[in-house]
Structure 1
Amino acid sequence: MSTAADTIDFATEWQAWHDAHETNRADPHGFLAVTSLNWLDETPTRYPDAPGEWSTSAAGPVVRLSDGEQIVVDGRAIVGSTDRVTYEFGVIPERGGVTVSAGDAEFEVARRGGADILRPRHPSHPTRVEYAGTPVFAPNRSWVAEGTFRAFTEPKPVTVGSVAEGLEHVYDSPGVIEFELGGESLSLTAFNGPTPGSLFVLFTDATSGVTTYAANRSLQIDAPDASGRVTVDFNRATNLPCAYTEFATCPLPPSENRLPIGIEAGEKTPLRPSAATDGDAR
């Protein structure tokens, strides 16, 4: 049986985690600072929130800088001239990316869904400047489940949709997490997490589109123990970048991760600046 002290410790630990997550989200060059999402092709194109003319080919993205323009790549300044200077990024792997800078802005050059993109990030963008935090459900131990990770014999490629129309993502799933919550037996297809052995899941539930973001939420899960046991703490369910900006390519959950119950835990639908400011730079 948990005590009052246990409850206080649980809430305190959750608050520290949430505060750190919010600080990271509001980073000057985080997703709230993204001002556009540009799909590169073979035609050199200039964008209003980035220096240079950008294009791509089978050899990877390229930027051509005119006189007075410059970017910084790996600490080295690439400066344009009257003859123009071309910088070649080379082939970028799927879900990989390179970050360059100019002034106080950063520019993500990345590959998503088989296409190369340019995503500028300006700290003064209204989505970031006006960000006032994400509403959440109060932390509650009843939304913590002890589950079991059932590993596949071999990782299984899973294709999921994206909030970006026409885009798909393919992730290797190492297995399924099984657990009980609210008297129901549930399961979630898991993907590999950011640290060795860790997992993450994408899911929707009965609150999606009502009190929580409609498209998806994400949950990080520590690596299973030797017996395959895992802790599924929905109090730490978070929104992906697409809940805050239209310039995201977030994956959608696999169909089997649509939970039939309402998960009244974790982050709710965020408030966003008016649509009129979404495209303003810079």
Structure 2
Amino acid sequence: MNLIKTYLTLFIIIILIGCTKKIEEKGSAEYVLEINEWHAKRIENLKKENGWLNLIGLFWLKEGENKFGSDKSNDIIFPDSAPRFMGSFFLKDSTVEMKVNKGVEIFFENCEQVNTVIMKHDQQNGTTIFDHGSLRWNLIKRGDKYGIRLRDLNSELVINFPGVEMFPINVDWRIESEFESYNPPKEIDVPTVLGTIEKEKSPGALVFKKDNKKYRLDVTDAGKSYFVIFADLTNGKETYGAGRFLSVPKADSTGKIVIDFNKSYNPPCAFTKYATCPLPPKQNYMSLEVTAGEKNYGAGH
């Protein structure tokens, strides 16, 4: 009898959970599927070789020689799986040269073995990426600083990543907006986690209403879409403390621009302390609880 009661209780709980989910989600079956497919693709991209989950190090270079390898005496310490003394990065006059020690195999993009090479950073065309075993690294430039970004394709976070929880899908967070253009484009200050301020050109602002209150978000141009960094009242609670990102398609054939907050996503810094994320411009802080999109993951900065 007790066993039957237990099964009945579990059955009722399962039914209630299913009903609750249906009540919480709001939108057509096609729309819910669209958001779920978007999020599945988003998780897939996070796990890719150039995603954010496999970052294991970020090392800022000093002027002159920077030795690297797994030995603790190096300036830049690679994982134990790497050779003890791999070589050196030489920073001089904004140029970084990598010299590889004799007997160490380092390849350029899985193909050509290298000994000495001038590295191209991530803001140049043809960024050079190097590898040894499961390790990948490249040069990044932030302001006047140069650093080595290190990845491990066998990172535990990639292998064991549990995914990112989302708010229940709600079509009410798919909001039509007006685009107020800046002519000429306005220069806006975009702070970063490094404590620096980046100057970006904004072509305009998205203006929309939610619960009869008007909001505006300055955007930057990302080709076929606008890129938005925003903050709201859920930050530091349900969502990442330093805001979220959003890609907004430009006007469709009818001239409408739709902001879909169900596609709000965490910046890389939510997953790793080795990213160099932009933060929301002060004018993009909203006195609004955006209960849509990705919730906090909480492993990064």
Q: Give the Cα separation in 2 of the matches to 1:189 and 1:245.
A: 26
Counterpart for residue 242 of structure 1: 269
Q: CA deviation at 1:59?
A: 4.3
Counterpart for residue 46 of structure 2: 25
Counterpart for residue 71 of structure 1: 106
Q: Name the SS of the counterpart of 2:106 in structure 1.
A: strand
Counterpart for residue 31 of structure 2: 10
1:131 maps onto 2:165 in alignment:
no
Larger-gyration structure (1/2): 2
Q: Which moved more, 1:20-29 or 1:248-257?
A: 20-29
Aligned residue pair count: 263
* Offset from partner CA, 1:220-272 (integer Å, 9 cap, x none): 01112477531000000000110010111100010010010100000000153
**Residues 95 and 112 in structure 1, CA contact (< 8 A), matched pair in contact too:** no
**For residues 260 and 160 of structure 1, do their structure 2 counterparts lie closer, same or farther at Cα, with a shift above 3 Å needed?**
same
1:191 maps onto 2:226 in alignment:
no
5+ unaligned residues in a row in structure 1: which ranges? 80-84
Counterpart for residue 82 of structure 1: none
Amino acid at match of 1:238: Y
Amino acid at match of 2:136: E
5+ unaligned residues in a row in structure 2: which ranges? 1-24, 69-75
Counterpart for residue 256 of structure 1: 283
Q: CA deviation at 1:36?
A: 0.7
Counterpart for residue 159 of structure 1: 189
Q: Which moved more, 1:90-99 or 1:242-251?
A: 90-99
Counterpart for residue 296 of structure 2: 269
Counterpart for residue 142 of structure 1: 172
CA RMSD in angstroms, aligned pairs only: 2.5
Q: Name the SS of the counterpart of 1:10 in structure 2.
A: helix
Q: Which has the higher contact order (CA 8 A, sep 6+)?
A: 1
Counterpart for residue 209 of structure 1: 236
Q: Give the Cα separation in 2 of the matches to 1:251 and 1:38.
A: 19
After superposition, residues 81-100 of structure 1 pair within 5 angstroms as: 85-89=115-119, 93=123, 97-100=127-130
**Residues 177 and 258 in structure 2, CA contact (< 8 A), matched pair in contact too:** yes
Q: Give the Cα separation in 2 of the matches to 1:56 and 1:170.
A: 25
| TM-score normalised by the chain length of structure 1 | 0.84
Q: CA deviation at 1:87?
A: 1.1
**For residues 95 and 88 of structure 1, do their structure 2 counterparts lie closer, same or farther at Cα, with a shift above 3 Å needed?**
closer
Q: Give the Cα separation in 2 of the matches to 1:248 and 1:16.
A: 26
Q: CA deviation at 1:69?
A: 2.0
Counterpart for residue 54 of structure 1: 89
Identity rate, percent: 27
